[in-house]
Amino acid sequence: MKTPAALQPLIDDGVIDEVIRSLKSGKEATVYLVRSKAHTRCAKVYRNMRQRSFQKRARYQEGRKVRGSRQARAIGKSTRFGRREQEAAWKNAEVDALYRLVAAGVCVPRPFGYFNDTLIMELVTDAAGDPAPRLGEIDLSPETAREYHGFLVQQIVRMLSIGLIHGDLSEFNVLVGSHGPVIIDLPQAVNAAGNNGAFAMLERDVNNIRGTLGRFAPELLKTEFAREMWAQFELGALTPDSKLTGVFARDEATADAAAVLVAVEDAREEALQRELGREG
C-alpha cells in the first residue's frame, strides 16, 4: 500500500521497513500492520484531538502528573498551549501505561518505542498467525468464558495493584490471542489514587467484562469483583496475586453518583461502538 505520510519518517529513519496494510481505524488512532526487519508489528498513529473532546478526556486525566507547574496552569485554563500539552499527555499516556503494565506482568501488547505520535508495538495474533479477533467477535463455551473471566479479573487486579485502571475496558478492547486474552487501547488509563471517578470507571470495566462473558456463563453475572478489589485497594491490601471471591455485600442505602454520571455520559458512545462493531 502507499505509505501514509505519518509513517514515512519512520521508514526514512529505519524504524520500520514497510507498511503492509491498515488494520484498524478509529476516533483516536489508525493502526497499521508494518514490517520491521523479520517481524510484523503494529504502528498506532494517533490522531490530533478536536477541541470538543477535551472535556470528556479531562475526567480520565484527573490525577495524572504533568511536566511542570506552567503546563498544569495552561491545561487548567485550556489555553492553546494547554490544549497542546493535554493532547501530548493523552498520547503519551498509553505508551507509559504499556511499559508499566508489561513490567507488572499484565497481558498487554509489548511496546517497541514511540516516534512522532506513532506507537510501535507487538502484533497480537491467533493460533493461525493472523491478527487476533476481539473478544466480542467470538463465541465461547461456558468453560472458556469462565476461564477468560477469571484471567481478565486477575489482569485488572494487577493493573489496580500498581495504581492503574483501564477506564474503557470492554469486549472491543480485549483481543483473543493464541495464548488467551490480551488487553489493548490504554490512552485513557486512570490514576486510581488521584481520580475522583476511579471506582466508577473500575466498576464499569469489570462489569463490562462480566456482562460480555456472562452471556456464555450466566452465573458470572452475580459476581461483584469490582467492589471487592476496590475495598482491598483502599485498605492497601491489594497485591498482584490477590485471590478474590466475587462476593461483596452492597450498601444499597448509598447512591453511587459517580457511577451513574459515568454510565449516562458513555451510554450513547458505547451503543455507537457496538453498532460499528456489528457493521465491521
**What is the percent of the chain where pLDDT is above 90?**
66
Mean pLDDT for the chain overall: 85
Per-residue pLDDT reduced to its tens digit, 156-201: 999 999 999 999 999 999 999 999 999 999 988 999 998 889 999 9
Q: How far is CA 146 from CA 7, 105, 160, in A?
A: 40, 21, 21
Active-site annotation holder among 168, 241, 256, 266: 168
Q: Return the pLDDT at 76.
A: 53
Report the distance separating Cα 262 and Cα 59, nearest Å.
10
**Among 120, 115, 119, 117, which residue's Cα sits nearest to residue 13?**
115
Task: Kindly state the DSSP code that residue 125 receives in the 8-state scheme.
Answer: B
- The whole-number pLDDT of residue 261 equals 57
What angle separates helix 80-103 from helix 54-61, to the nearest 10 degrees?
A: 40
Write the single-letter amino acid at 29. A
pLDDT in tens, 112-164: 999 988 999 999 999 999 999 999 999 999 999 999 999 999 999 999 999 99
Helices vs strands, H then E, count in the chain: 8, 9
Write down the catalytic residue from 96, 185, 205, 241.
185
Alpha-carbon span 20 to 100, nearest angstrom: 29
Give the separation between CA 146 and CA 274, rounded to whole angstroms.
Answer: 23
pLDDT at 67: 52
Measure the CA–CA gap between 31 and 80, rounded to whole angstroms.
28
Gap between the Cα atoms of 60 and 57, Å rounded = 5
Residue 168 a catalytic site member: yes
Q: Tell me the three cell numbers of residue 235.
A: 485498605
Spatial distance between the Cα atoms of 219 and 17, rounded to a whole number of angstroms: 49
The pLDDT of residue 44 = 96
Number of domains in the chain: 1
Q: Which amino acid is at 272?
A: L
Cα–Cα distance, 170 to 211 (Å, whole number): 9
Which of 199 and 88 is assigned the larger pLDDT? 199
Name the 3-class secondary structure at 156. helix
C-alpha cell at 198: 476511579
Q: How far apart, in whole angstroms, are the C-alpha atoms of residue 280 and residue 270?
A: 15
Q: Would you say 43 and 122 are in contact if contact means Cβ atoms under 8 Å apart?
A: no
Sort 4 into a burial class: Cβ within 10 Å, 0-12 / 13-18 / 19+: middle
User: What whole-number distance in Å separates Cα of residue 167 and Cα of residue 174?
Assistant: 13
Name the least confident of 32-41, 69-78, 184-193, 230-239: 69-78
**CATH number of the domain encompassing residue 70:** 1.10.510.10
What does the pLDDT read at residue 264? Answer: 53
Domain limits at 92? 5-279
Give bridge partners of residue 30 from the DSSP assignment: 25, 45
